[in-house]
């Protein structure tokens, strides 16, 4: 028997066997997806910065 804490909702979960906790360290599939969503959002922001070239292109269009 082991007890762990879900990182998403901080709920204490106690399971008899590791096989009984398929979403460990999360308490449920929902909490796992919430954490994954946070991670993906952070990665998206870092990998898609605004490029200076894109801003210059917008300014050029305003001149016409």
Q: Which stretch binds Zn ion (CB under 5 A): 14-22, 30-38, 41-49, 54-62?
A: 30-38
Q: How far is the CB of 27 from Zn ion (least distance, A)?
A: 3
Residue-by-residue DSSP string for 11-40 = -EEEESSGGG-TTTTSSSHHHHHHHHHHHH
Q: Which stretch binds Zn ion (CB under 5 A): 2-10, 17-25, 42-50, 51-59?
A: 2-10
Separation between Cα atoms, residue 9 and residue 6, nearest integer Å: 6
Q: Which is nearer to Zn ion, 39 or 56 (CB)?
A: 39
């Amino acid at each position: 028997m082991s007890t762990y804490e879900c990182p998403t909702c901080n709920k204490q979960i106690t399971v008899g066997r590791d096989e009984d906790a398929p979403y460990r360290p999360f308490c449920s599939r929902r909490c796992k997806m919430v954490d994954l969503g946070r991670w993906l959002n952070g990665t998206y922001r870092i990998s898609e910065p605004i490029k200076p070239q894109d801003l210059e292109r917008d300014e050029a269009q305003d001149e016409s």
